[in-house]
Chains A and B, each alone.
Chain A
Amino acid sequence: MTSPRPAVDVRALHVRFGEVEAVAGVDLVAYAGQATALLGRNGAGKSTTMRVLAGVVPPTSGTARVAGHDVRREPLRVKQSVGYCPDVGGLVPRATPWEHVQLSARLRRLDRTWRTRPVGWEQRARDLLERFELGDVAHRVTAGFSHGMGRRLSVVLAALHEPDVLLLDEPFDGVDPIGVEATLEVVADARARGACVLVSTHLRELAIEACSTVTVLRGGAQVATLPAADMVGEDGARAYRGLLD
């Protein structure tokens, strides 16, 4: 029996910005239908790894394959395959949520690829906006949005096209309980349809709730990958703390 092909396969990833090495040798493997949490302190390299997987930042060295595509050689294929919620902002200030949705739909050609689906992309977008309680502000420019509203919309945009790989960077940051619940639903839905999910967060409890596997990064490198169940409760908190120092 052969093991399934990983949806995310990162080997010896290094990312350098000038003299700063943001990622120093991360190895990461994640499979379809699996949700993996990236945990670690500030500056551990979580967000930079996510940016590499989203095709926003090229790796300095090492390899990263997303949905079978090399991020360096096939960045457009990678971008077609992922849905990315960036760690900060992520919204064009003078565009409305619906205009964000339209831009994503146009560039992903959802009007053609989703034509035969029972639920069209527009209905899917409306449902997601309603689920995240953004339906009332769908036509309001995002410049006046609160931080939590912006986070929620970023998750909607990442999940809209039902990507093979869903990358959520700090999706719970400053989000109210209803938004957290909706995000957890999005993660569960993605796993159920066979997508690979990566969630980067500082909130250990929510990471455990959303994911089955946890990868801990420290100083730009991976220090452990373990089942999320091992991180539960006081013992899990102590174990996590031990991995951070």
Chain B
Amino acid sequence: MPTAASSTERWPGSGPPRRPGAAARWRAAPADAWHAVVDAGHLVAFRAGTVRSRRVLVALAAAFVALTAAAAVVPAWTPGAGSGEGHSLDVLLLLPTAMAGFLLLALVSAVVSGGGRELLARDPAAVHPVSPTTDHLGALVLAPLNIAWLLQAWTLLGSTAYAVGPGRGGADLAAAQVGMLLWLALATALAQVVAWSLEGLRRLRGGVLAVRLLGLGVLAAGLALQATGRLVPALDRGPTVPVLGGLVGGPGSRWGLTVAGLLVATLLAVALGAVPAHLAVRRHPRDEQGSETAHHEARPLARGPLTALVRTDRASVWRAVPMRRGLLVLAVGPGLVALLGGLRWDTMTVLPGLVASGGALLFGVNAWCLDGRGGRWRESLPVGPATVFDARAWVLAEFLLAASLLTTAIAAVRAGVPSAAELAAITATLAVVTVQVVAAAMRWSLAHPHAVDLRSARATPAPPLGMVGYSTRLAVSTTVTGLVFSGLSRAEGWALPVLCAVPFLAWSSWRLLRTRRRWLDPVERARVVLTVTA
């Protein structure tokens, strides 16, 4: 005799099971939101706990606080700061554009990563009751762990300090920086709202095409504004001008209103972001699913082992949605900025390094994870480990070079005809930074392998703090290289840039060969393969 009604039975006198009404959901919303915040805290603590060394974590946190404080304060005490004339005035006039630029960068970063980085990878998260709101908050927390975000934020804080100066015992500076920090938070939250909305749109039928058309439309509008000379006036009419006006006058009623407005807008944007996050998560990512079920016609057998391995690695890179999307944005974004800004050949040498660094962060810094769990089978194939290494390094190099060349080609449109020295300098830079980044990426891939599922656009090849470390080191080394060749591009003739490239190439090649020798050690190789396929 049954003692309880089954789940498919109705209780006597009860109606059909009903979904909670809108009113009930509305009443539960505050509790749900609070749970999401608490869960985000748990996930942050979990991720922080996976950092191998607590000392490193504390040191990184301290460095972050110290650098941010230094960027926000030190420039205010440099000569000419806050004078309201000369460089200080120039910086003040450029600040609204810089603020808009920060918003644009945060937006591109969040959109490309399909709603921002994930605190917990998709598969492990699937077994836990993690709400989309928690996911959204996690992405917001992780957004600053990105060298592009950090550099822009520090530049903005430093520029503000220089433009405002100490003023009234530091009160004006403190007031301005409080507002600027709120702007950083607001821009990040707004970017997240847009990113989730576009991700939701992308997951609708025809959404991928719609997002691409939208992107092209925005691009065309930007180019049209630039071509007609209306870009700067448009930026001047943007909301960043009155916001800045409210922040730089020192503490007062206008400042109070501006800060309150920024605070409210930030909180609203953070809350609002949860709505498109929920809508997006309910739908499947169409482009990822499309690539995972795609058919590829058979090609003739490769000519030799190296060609066969290169072909397999190339397919692993170019068939991945995150790689294609990331590379396109990395290549086109800086190229367009250079195009709109009318960058000259002598300063263009900075671009290839930045683009190659960004490209390496898509998979190169953990290059052996490209095979996923197929790494174990691949390691059992009868081919020398040197050939395997050569194929992977080659595919990484061509991936980075493709992006850098595209950026340079776009930037070159308005740069005119280069001199022999300029042409030699940009060519040498392309070669040097490619080898430099490949050598660093292959070295880190061997030293710090991670098991990562790179199917999701939101996944990163290494943990967030590791990514900050990698991006910082790559950005510094390649920027220095770019600046060196920028100076050399002003030389007489092409010989000097080419000759100076030789020691750079020799040093990076030696480091690459050293990593290759380490890869040949079967114990080292087994450690890497077993880790990335775990």
Min CB distance, A148 to chain B, in Å? 15
* Residues B503-529 near A (CB distance < 8 A): 522-523, 526-527, 529
Encoded as 1 (CB less than 8 Å from any A CB) or 0, chain B from 371 to 386 comes to 1111011111111100
Tell me the chain A residues, 34-78 only, with Cβ under 8 Å from chain B. Answer: 51, 54-58, 72, 75-76
Q: What is the minimal beta-carbon distance from B325 to any residue of chain A, in angstroms?
A: 15
Question: Which of the candidate stretches B55-63, B107-115, B291-299 sits at the interface with the other chain?
Answer: B291-299
Q: Does A225 contact B (CB under 8 A)?
A: no
Known: A141-B296, A141-B319. A86 touches B372 (CB 8 A): no
CB–CB A57/B526 < 8 A? yes
**Interface segment, A3-11, A105-113, A228-236?**
A105-113
Q: Could you say which of A54, A82, A90 contacts B373, with CB atoms under 8 Å apart?
A: A90
CB distance from A228 to the nearest CB of B (A): 26
Contact B381 A93 (CB under 8 A): no
Interface size on B, residues (CB 8 A): 43
Question: Of A80, A93, A142, which one neighbours B382 at CB under 8 angstroms?
Answer: A80
A174 to B526 CA separation, bound complex (whole angstroms): 27
B31 at the interface (CB under 8 A from A): no
Give min CB distance, B528 to chain A, whole Å: 11
Binds A, one of B172-180, B228-236, B308-316, B428-436: B308-316
CB contact under 8 A between A102 and B308, given known A56-B380, A79-B380, A141-B293 = yes
**Complex-state Cα separation, A175 to B309, whole angstroms:** 29
Q: Which residue of A54, A91, A94, A106 contacts B380 across the interface (Cβ within 8 Å)?
A: A54
Distance of A152 from chain B, by nearest CB (Å): 14
Residue of A nearest to B371 (CB): A92
Bound CA span A17–B374, Å:
21
Is A141 in contact with B380, judged by CB distance below 8 angstroms? no
Does B530 touch A at the CB level, under 8 Å? Answer: yes
- Interface residue B301 (Cβ < 8 Å from any Cβ of A): yes
- Contact indicator A89/B372 (Cβ below 8 Å): yes
Q: Cβ of A94: which chain B residues have Cβ within 8 Å of it?
A: 291, 315-316, 319-320
For window 203-244 of B, CB contacts with A under 8 Å fall at: none
- Which single residue of chain B is at the shortest CB-CB distance from A121? B301
A157 to B371, CA, bound (A): 16
The residue in A17, A92, A100 that gathers the most chain B C-beta atoms within 10 A of its C-beta is A92
Q: How far is the CB of A13 from chain B (nearest CB, A)?
A: 14
B296 A86 Cβ-Cβ under 8 A: no
Give complex CA distance A192, B312 in Å. Answer: 34
Which chain A residues lie closer than 8 Å to B376 at the CB level? 51, 56, 86, 88-90
Contacts of A172 in B (CB 8 A): none
Given the interface contacts A93-B372, A106-B302, does A86 sit within 8 Å of B380 by beta carbon?
yes
A91 adjacent to B382 (CB under 8 Å)? no
Q: Pick from B292, B315, B380, B533: contact of A89, CB below 8 A.
A: B533
**Closest chain B residue, CB of each to CB of A154:** B377
> Known: A93-B455, A141-B294, A157-B377. Is A108-B382 also a contact (CB below 8 A)?
yes
Question: Which chain B residues in 256-306 approach chain A with CB under 8 Å?
Answer: 289, 291-299, 301-302, 304-305
Q: Out of B455, B522, B529, which one reaches A75, CB within 8 Å?
A: B522
The B contact surface, by secondary structure, is helix
A84 CB within 8 Å of chain B: yes
- Chain B residues near A108 (CB-CB < 8 A): 381-382
CB neighbours of A102 from chain B (8 A): 298-299, 301-302, 308
- B308, B373, B522: the one contacting A91 at CB < 8 Å is B373
Chain A residues near B298 (CB, 8 Å)? 98-99, 102, 139
B292 touches A95 (CB 8 A): no
A140 within 8 A of B: yes
Among A58, A93, A106, A111, the residue within 8 A (CB) of B522 is A58
Question: Could you mark each residue 353-381 of chain B with 1 if its beta carbon is under 8 Å from any beta carbon of chain A, else 0?
Answer: 00000000000000000011110111111
Which residues of the other chain, A, contact B293 by a CB distance below 8 angstroms? 140-141, 144
A88 with B526: CB separation less than 8 A = no
Tell me whether A143 is interfacial, beta carbon within 8 Å: yes
Shortest Cβ gap from A147 to chain B (Å): 11
Q: Chain A: residues with CB nearer than 8 A to chain B?
A: 17, 51, 54-58, 72, 75-76, 79-80, 82, 84-86, 88-96, 98-100, 102-108, 111, 139-144, 154, 157
Known A56-B376, A139-B298, A141-B291; 12 more pairs at CB < 8 Å: A56-B526, A79-B381, A89-B372, A89-B377, A89-B533, A92-B378, A94-B291, A96-B295, A102-B301, A106-B301, A139-B297, A143-B292
Which B positions have Cβ atoms within 8 angstroms of A? 289, 291-299, 301-302, 304-305, 308-309, 311-312, 315-316, 319-320, 371-374, 376-384, 455, 522-523, 526-527, 529-530, 533
Can you list 27 pairs linking A and B with CB atoms under 8 Å apart? Answer: A17-B530, A51-B526, A55-B379, A56-B380, A56-B529, A58-B522, A88-B533, A89-B374, A89-B533, A90-B373, A91-B377, A92-B374, A92-B377, A92-B378, A93-B455, A94-B319, A99-B312, A104-B381, A105-B301, A106-B304, A106-B305, A107-B308, A111-B301, A139-B295, A139-B298, A141-B291, A143-B292
